[in-house]
Chain A
Amino acid sequence: MVSLDEKQQKGRRKGFSSQDMKEMLSGYLYISPFFIIFAIIGLYPAIFSLILAFQKWNGMGEMEFVGLSNFQVILSDPLFWKSVYNTVILGLMGTAPQLVIGLIIAFLLNLSYLRFKAFFRVTIFMPYITSMVAVALVFSVFFSNNETALVNYIIGLFGFDPVSWKTSEWGAKIAISTMVFWRWLGYNTIIYLAGMQSIPNELYEASRIDGASIFQQLRYITIPLLKPFILLTVFFSTVGAMQLFTEPTVFLGNTAFARDEAMTVVMYLYRDAFKLSSFGTASAAAIVLLFFIVVASAVNMLLTKRLGRDRREA
């Protein structure tokens, strides 16, 4: 880096100069608010959960140390693995498309010659603003099991049989994925838009003069330069997808914790904690989930990194 060389050229003493010390202190100081708040409100629950994973506790009485047996119970429960499967599928169906389509939309919204930018930007963010209460009711009605539900009616026009959206394996997943996609598309779009601002217009202009089509601009300029933001959204979306809880719960209502078609891992552990009064196993499940999240994020990030590289070489 330029600055480091300059410093070395200036022949500073070995070790830290007072300037460096100031910088270090400032560095720690500036990141400290976050960590202090975490230490107060985040660390305690994390440690509590960690300890709890090795105990048996019903929320009210005494805790009883049970070693690894909670993990044993969880890992041998077919419902747990079903919930993992569900979570992954819902993530692929509901979250992954957001990132792709969100990118495209952000790109379009960033085009200098697009009209009605403000309108589109507002409408696309509307789902995120709409209260979850309303979203739940709306999707519940549109995707209800009956033949006369809106979605069933529409697919009936194309000659399909009505689907039991709330109680069938794929029906539930499709309905919930749609809900998740609908709700979070705008959110990711906004983040991409923010990232796109840092790409200088000159690059686009130069490429247009060279005759590049929109797709080519998207592929060779936007995506590579946006990669850090893409990595950002991929990471947070992965975590969000793995922690999916609200959408399936409100969609299914009172059968949410009784049926297994759309039970996610967090729903599974919530059920353990608040319905079965088994906080130990719930914590154990959370820890197992933690590993899955780390793995999934790492995988997704690596894939995304490689994607960019291939494109650039092309």
Chain B
Amino acid sequence: MKGDVGTKKWGIGRIGMYLFLTVISLFSLFPFYWMFVMSTSHSSAYNSIPPAMVPGDQLKENFQKVLDMIPFFQSMFNTLIVCLTVTIVVLFISSLAGFAFSKLKFPGKNILFFAILFTIIIPPQLGLIPQYLLVAKAGLLDNLFAAMVLFFLNPLGIFLMRQYVTESVPEELIEAARLDGCSIFRIYRSIVLPIILPAFATLGIIVFTSVWGEFLWQFTVLRDPESYTIQVALASLNNTFKVDFGMLLSGVFWATIPLLIVFLLFNKLFISSIAEGSVK
């Protein structure tokens, strides 16, 4: 293990650190745990005071109800397609643009970079009707592509990539490649891309999970139950007056599990790329 010089092995600092992280972890996990408890309980447990803490016995029953009510697996599949496509597209667009803004010279570069900031200014709630109109007129309602298209626009991705490229890709490397006569795309592909792979993991996770959790836009453009993404499908379980909370939270819980798995996969990528990335 690298030098612990100056830090006692199990001193106050260390213990404090683990304590702090554990508290934060519990704090972060608690609602998820409660959701699991509810997914295995009867609906009335939702109203119980004090709140239910121990898992119930309705695991199968609740989930069966979910399967009866909504096209769960179809929605999952749809969501997977949407999230995957958006993630790939965003990674591609962001890395290209990030590379360009960071390493290439062209007039108006800085102005254009700032212009990106302004693309996120209109609150999505207000842009809803005109965007819906565009999609409707293009005949793309109930089409998964419509659900994706809004999310291709991701300024955070460009900013992140640009930053990463600036910090991690040495100018000398690029210069050398230029002098060697490499095409710009070659530089991007062979030099930049491998170095920024860790950032791909981060941006990928962020984009994937963000799109997974999106509701409003999906709900507005996907109206045919067969085209639902999972959040829209789950929302149809929600009734103002007669909600079956056990069923609802069961659906929500099981919908989260695949996402968790994807995250863990990305995480592995993350770890291995950290090892690659930090030791220079």
A–B direct touch in complex (beta carbons closer than 8 A)? yes
State the A residues within 8 Å of B (CB): 1-3, 6, 19-20, 22-24, 26-28, 30-31, 33-35, 37-38, 40-42, 44-46, 48-49, 59, 101, 105, 108-109, 112-114, 117-135, 137-139, 141-142, 146, 148-150, 153, 182, 185-187, 190-191, 193-195, 197-202, 205, 208-209, 211-214, 228-229, 232, 235-236, 239, 243, 245, 266, 269-270, 273, 279, 282-283, 286, 289-290, 293, 297
Name, among A150, A209, A211, the residue most crowded by chain B CB atoms within 10 Å (CB to CB). A150
Contacts of B156 in A (CB 8 A): 232, 236
Question: For the complex, would chain A's binding face be called helix, strand, loop or mixed by DSSP majority?
Answer: helix
Contacts of A31 in B (CB 8 A): 96-97, 100-101, 112
Evaluate contact between B263 and A122: CB separation under 8 angstroms: yes
Q: For the complex, what is the distance from the CA of A134 to the CA of B256, rounded to whole Å?
A: 10
Shortest C-beta distance, B219 to chain A (Å), equals: 12
* 27 CB-based A-B contacts, threshold 8 Å: A3-B174, A20-B105, A24-B104, A26-B104, A27-B109, A30-B97, A30-B104, A31-B100, A42-B127, A45-B127, A49-B126, A109-B21, A118-B271, A120-B21, A122-B267, A123-B29, A124-B28, A125-B263, A137-B249, A197-B274, A198-B167, A201-B278, A205-B3, A212-B6, A214-B7, A229-B163, A290-B121
Contacts A182-B31, A198-B278, A202-B280 known; 8 new A-B pairs at CB < 8 A: A2-B175, A59-B129, A120-B21, A122-B264, A124-B25, A195-B167, A245-B125, A273-B125
Closest to A112 in B: B2
Shortest C-beta distance, B142 to chain A (Å), equals: 17
Evaluate contact between A201 and B184: CB separation under 8 angstroms: no
Question: How many A-B residue contacts, CB cutoff 8 Å?
Answer: 285
Contacts of A109 in B (CB 8 A): 21
State the B residues within 8 Å of A (CB): 1-7, 13, 17, 20-21, 24-25, 27-29, 31-32, 34-35, 38, 46, 49-51, 92-94, 96-97, 99-101, 104-107, 109, 112, 115-117, 119-123, 125-127, 129-131, 134, 149-150, 152-153, 156, 158-160, 163-164, 166-168, 171-172, 174-175, 178, 183-185, 188, 198-199, 201-203, 205-206, 209, 212-213, 215, 231, 234-235, 238, 245, 248-249, 252-253, 255-256, 259-260, 263-264, 267, 270-271, 273-274, 277-280
Q: For the complex, what is the distance from the CA of A243 to the CA of B127, rounded to whole Å?
A: 13
Evaluate contact between A239 and B120: CB separation under 8 angstroms: yes
Question: For the complex, would chain B's binding face be called helix, strand, loop or mixed by DSSP majority?
Answer: helix
Contacts of A205 in B (CB 8 A): 2-3
